[in-house]
Copies of this chain bind each other. A is one copy, B any other.
Amino acid sequence: MNIGQAAAASGVSAKMIRYYESIGLIPRTVRTESGYRVYSDRDVHTLRFIRRARDLGFSVEQIADLVSLWHDRERASKDVKTIALEHVGVLERKIRELQEMASTLKHLATNCHGDARPHCPIIEELANDEAVPPPLKPDAKFGPLGKSPAR
């Protein structure tokens, strides 16, 4: 089967299949004489695995780990669970961040008349100089305080 058919069958675009191959997430496939990539049902199965992991928001790096655990019959389920829970942690942190943004905005919007007049608490809050921006750099070289990702 050609790459287009593998793409349709797996839900992973041809572009991404080539990309995954280029970064070593999936092995190089057999080629026809003329250079076309050839895929087996087994390959499609792997691509579907990847697709599902991607849909769950795993990074390519994590997916690589998951695929290798998948193929490892001696794996410890603990290793899989660890990756999954770590990812859950990241997801929940992000969710909380977004929820905070949304609730702040909703609160501001509630107090905004939303009419033709210029008075607007949303703009006012953005322009409010009281809000103290946290220091840009934690002033590096401090002991191991645990990096705060993002921003």
Contacts and interface: CB of A to CB of B under 8 A. Distances in A.
A125 B53 CA distance: 10
Interface in A95-145: 95, 98-99, 101-102, 104-106, 108-109, 112-120, 122-123, 125-129, 131, 133-136
A127 B45 contact: yes
B88 A150 contact: no
- The interface residues of chain A, by DSSP majority, are classed as helix
Q: Name the residue in A12, A82, A136 with the highest tally of chain B Cβ atoms < 10 Å from its Cβ.
A: A136
Interface of A: 1, 5, 7-13, 45, 48-49, 51-53, 55-57, 66, 69-70, 72-78, 80-82, 84-85, 87-88, 91-92, 94-95, 98-99, 101-102, 104-106, 108-109, 112-120, 122-123, 125-129, 131, 133-136, 149-151
